[in-house]
Copies of this chain bind each other. A is one copy, B any other.
């Protein structure tokens, strides 16, 4: 009887199997490690990473160095009110690239690139696509990477990106090739400094890979450069695992697909654990600063017992005790049915969408700014809590007093550089566990609940933000980068690179670009009216939420867990290449 599975090959002797090497004493002091110079996958590749490095992203027919640019009407503006702020970059056409060849000779392009904000899977592939695109357009083109985010541009700190470096990072996760940072380009002084650096480095292009804020600032810089007569072309690339930079020609931001798949793998495993041991309720907080796209997508992939969606909480003005009652009610109903287990998905930003919590946080921010001196002089936590409680409105004060001790501390201790409460640091999953536990005890006393409650808490965030990109994200980001190179070739500025028709076969994807200014709205920020790209929140009449809404009662009362499993790179396309359920539903809508 022959072996039915695939043939084994004997293990190659890896580094660890070499006893001499394993036992050697390593006394040499190596130089300190800079971004991109880390001796990581180079000297000690693992098998998957080594193989994955050879993956060539799929691309559409129209994505090649000679692709002709087709210009059409500008996309509808999010707000016409911003027109006067962008005289040079508002009335620009939509651009798409075609499989026809462009006319004329190409010239070398020298571009800079910046990774901005939190990492997202695929950032390195944007750089690879950009690098390949520039080199294909003209072999004398070059790419300069600014280190550690926009700060690198302001400080003129960076490095030339060469082919060997790019090859080391193809299809890898993380932003470690050049590092990232949260410095913002916001003031006119920043823009001037940016133009100076660009001029000194002889850059005619600058590609900013970032989220809504970074793309907003890219747009401002593009406009400023044109106003100043600078030749610098500034482009944006839509990045964020949160999935909230989308709309119009931007079907999804990159990284959302991979991060959701990693979280869904883990939620699926937790689902399976809940079903196997039948005694735990798992409360799982999911990264994602404001919007609940991650929680929604993960719910569609894994069918948990309960999913909270911040946007719904806000729209229905649900109060904290109402949400707690809702959860406790489901727990009691399942318990009566001998199902003392379940999974609950909680978006990270939820507390800011609960009206009274939002109010409390706003008041705390105020108290901590105005009363900082007195507050920080207090030595013990009880005194600090007492102090802030005294400064709050009666409603907020009552709410604050009844919060679990630890959450009450997190609300006053973990503050960002602007003095604001760090919402991401609040253990919302523990908050709900404590409140639900309290509610169940009340129900027990009243005789309306007779089961047990064994909670477990999880926070899934850093586990997925730097995962290696899925095939979808590897392809999408490479194409975004290559598209950015083509937009530079066209002499365009103030554009965001787009790749559309993402649920079709890659061969039919549509690369192009739209003017960033058409995505701008005017909003008040820190007392000033400024143009910003608005975060796209979950739409309650959108197809993704509708599916959750239609199914969640059944998922709560019965058990319909799904177990998506880990990201696969080498299997059938229906496993390896498909993207999020959200994107599929939105494309079909």
Contact = CB atoms under 8 A, between A and B. Distances in A.
29 contacts: A3-B59, A3-B506, A3-B507, A5-B57, A5-B58, A6-B58, A6-B577, A7-B505, A16-B581, A17-B585, A22-B543, A39-B560, A40-B562, A41-B563, A46-B562, A48-B575, A51-B571, A51-B575, A119-B273, A173-B272, A174-B275, A174-B276, A179-B277, A265-B566, A273-B462, A273-B465, A458-B463, A468-B565, A566-B566
Which 8 pairs show the lowest CB-CB distances between chains A and B? A5-B58, A8-B505, A566-B566, A570-B571, A272-B466, A174-B272, A175-B276, A273-B466
Interface stretch (A392-400, A485-493, A547-555): A547-555
Contacts of A576: 6
Contacts of A19: 543, 588
A23 B549 CA distance: 8
A543 B17 CA distance: 9
A97 B468 CA distance: 43
Given A176-B276, A272-B176, A5 B406 contact: no
A26 B338 contact: no
Nearest to A461: B456
Given A275-B38, A277-B180, A563-B172, A547 B22 contact: yes
A204 interface: no
Contacts of A30: 558
A506 B572 contact: no
Given A38-B559, A39-B560, A58-B6, A269 B466 contact: yes
A303 B38 CA distance: 13
Interface of A: 1, 3-12, 14, 16-17, 19, 22-26, 29-30, 32-33, 35, 38-41, 44, 46-49, 51-52, 55-61, 64, 118-119, 148, 172-176, 179-180, 262, 265-266, 269-270, 272-273, 275-278, 280, 282, 300-301, 303, 337-339, 406, 456, 458-459, 462-468, 471, 475, 503-507, 543, 546-547, 550-551, 553-554, 557-578, 581, 584-585, 588
A56 B5 contact: yes
Contacts of A39: 558-560
A52 B568 CA distance: 12
A59, A463, A581 — most chain B CB neighbours (10 Å):
A463
A14, A176, A337, A565 — most chain B CB neighbours (10 Å):
A565
Contacts of A11: 503, 574, 578, 584
A29 B337 CA distance: 12
A313 B192 CA distance: 57
Contacts of A47: 572, 574-575, 578
A57 B560 CA distance: 27
Contacts of A573: 6-9
A456 B424 CA distance: 12
Contacts of A585: 16-17
A551 B32 contact: no
A481 B57 CA distance: 41
Contacts of A588: 17, 19
A50 to B, nearest CB: 9
Contacts of A338: 32
Given A276-B119, A277-B119, A277-B180, A44 B575 contact: no
Contact of A551 (B26, B55, B459, B464): B26
A49 B565 contact: yes
B550 A26 contact: yes
Contacts of A578: 11, 47
A14, A51, A265, A269 — most chain B CB neighbours (10 Å):
A269
Contacts of A23: 546, 550
Contacts of A4: 56-59
A426 to B, nearest CB: 14
A5 B468 CA distance: 17
A563 B173 contact: yes
Contacts of A339: 32-33
B565 A568 contact: no
A506 B278 contact: no
Contact of A475 (B5, B269, B550, B581): B5
A46 B458 contact: no
Contacts of A60: 3
A179 B341 CA distance: 13
Nearest to A56: B4
A374 B550 CA distance: 52
B276 A180 contact: yes
A3 B577 CA distance: 14
A10 B576 CA distance: 12
A24 B272 contact: no
Contact of A458 (B38, B148, B269, B462): B462
A334 to B, nearest CB: 9
